[in-house]
Amino acid sequence: LGVRLFTDFSVPWTRSENSCLLNDVSHSGERSSGSRQEQKARTRRALLDAGLRLLEEQSLSSLGLREITRAVRIAPAAFYRHFRDIPDLGVALVAEALGSVHEMVGAILAGQDDSDERIEETVEAIARYVRDHRAHLRFVSRERHGSVRAVREAIAAELSRFADEVATALAPGPTYAGWDYRDMRMLSELYVDHMVTTAAAFLETADADEAAQAAREHAVARTACRQLKLIRTGCRHWPAAG
């Protein structure tokens, strides 16, 4: 057993849909035990990667099982060794995509203050994160309101966790001394929604011309910073005197 996995999309050179290729992933140096499950894990990864790549230009509900297995160069039926169906793969992608966002959010929240510099660093962190995880975030942004219920719910659950984390991290700050739970929650939801909107805006700055893209990113960042500063100003004077 063993198959060379492809995640590139080069045109196949054979006419047959599923070409059988010799294994060239030798495990000679590794401890033999576990190599079967390692191979399985590698195929699973290849399926997720290929799916993610295909999802940059389409939505989950139109993604074909055969399309993915073709990209990975395995037989269609092999898909079922790893996922029940396409939505199941989608849920796995959500876990992967938003799991790693938790780290970024944690880093942003650590040692939080509300200085201008902090806001600018936060927006810059989002910009960087989008640049480095474009495919994952495009997927989440697209499927957040997509037609696959299980995926929508998985995303909503993760975003709700983000709101919890933000609320917990901010609450001890001096700005929020008199705030009740509802206030903290509405603020953290506003921040999370703003983060999602900003990330989506960064995603849409993609441009063939590198300079043009940088300029558009800069514009999005400036707007996002001002909006965060406006919200911060609101926080400092909350609840409103009149």
Partner DNA sequence: TGTACATCAGTGAACGCGCGTTCACTGATGTAC
Residue 58 near its own copies by CB under 8 A: yes
Q: Nearest approach, Cβ of 95 to DNA (angstroms)?
A: 20
Q: Which of 186, 206, 212, 215 binds its own copies (CB under 8 A)?
A: 186
**Which of its own copies, DNA, none sits in contact with 136, Cβ below 5 to 8 A by type?**
none
Cβ atoms within 10 A of the Cβ of 165, count? 16
Rounded to 10 degrees, the C-alpha dihedral 138/144/145/149 comes to: 120
User: CA–CA separation, 137 vs 151, rounded Å?
Assistant: 14
Q: Nearest approach, Cβ of 227 to its own copies (angstroms)?
A: 5
Q: Which of 41, 95, 212, 230 binds its own copies (CB under 8 A)?
A: 230
User: CA–CA separation, 157 vs 161, rounded Å?
Assistant: 6
**Which of its own copies, DNA, none sits in contact with 235, Cβ below 5 to 8 A by type?**
its own copies
Residue 168 near its own copies by CB under 8 A: no
239 upstream amide cis, omega within 30 of 0 = yes
Residue 64 near DNA by CB under 7 A: yes
- Candidate segments 19-27, 127-135, 144-152, 158-166, binder of DNA by CB under 7 A: 19-27
Residue with tokens 């600018």: 120
Give the per-residue contact string, 131-160, with its own copies (x = CB under 8 A; - = no).
----------xx-xxxx--------x----
Amino acid at the residue 85: D
Lookup: tokens for 15: 């006419």
User: CA–CA separation, 197 vs 228, rounded Å?
Assistant: 12
Q: Which of 9, 56, 58, 81 binds DNA (CB under 7 A)?
A: 81
Residue 61 near its own copies by CB under 8 A: yes
Name the residue among 142, 67, 66 with its Cα closest to residue 97. Answer: 142
Q: Nearest approach, Cβ of 28 to DNA (angstroms)?
A: 9
Q: Which of 50, 54, 60, 74 binds DNA (CB under 7 A)?
A: 74
Amino acid at the residue 163: A
